[in-house]
Amino acid sequence: MTAVLALATLVGAVVLTLYGASTLLSPAGRASVLPFESGMAPSQHAVSRYHVRWYAVTILFLAFDMEMIFMYPWAIVVADMGAGAVVEMFGFLAVLLVGVLYVWREGALRWS
């Protein structure tokens, strides 16, 4: 318990020190309110420049990404777990298939 308290105290001290240093060293005035890096004011909202089609493509990417993240560990332990693991994986793939079918239905895979 004392180790946890000591670690929490250390983390709190580091956070407060870094926050204080950034407050003391940061520039004040007009330079602190300008956009980062380029210094040019944005001409439009950050979300408005992306077409809505890309959100469906993102869902498709996440479906395949999640599939790959969970398929490798599953392939390692499937022999030990038996038929229950196979049924669970097909259930998981069915949920991901719903995302893929949604993207297909929305037409995000047609580039016209």
The 8-class DSSP code of residue 30 comes to G
| 77 neighbors 85 (Cβ within 8 angstroms) | yes
Give the pLDDT confidence of 31-70 residue by residue, as tens digits.
Answer: 555 566 565 666 776 666 677 777 777 888 888 888 888 8
Write out the two tokens for 64: 């395949």
The superfamily (CATH) of domain 47-112 is NADH:ubiquinone/plastoquinone oxidoreductase, chain 3 (1.20.58.1610)
Give the pLDDT confidence of 60-79 residue by residue, as tens digits.
Answer: 888 888 888 888 888 888 88
Write out the two tokens for 85: 């693991």
19-46 core/surface letters (b: 16 or more CB in 10 A; e: else): eeeeeeeeeeeeeeeeeeeeeeeeeeee
Long-range contacts of residues 62-71, Cβ cutoff 8 Å, at least 24 apart = 62/99, 63/96, 63/99, 63/100, 63/103, 64/96, 66/96, 67/92, 67/93, 67/96
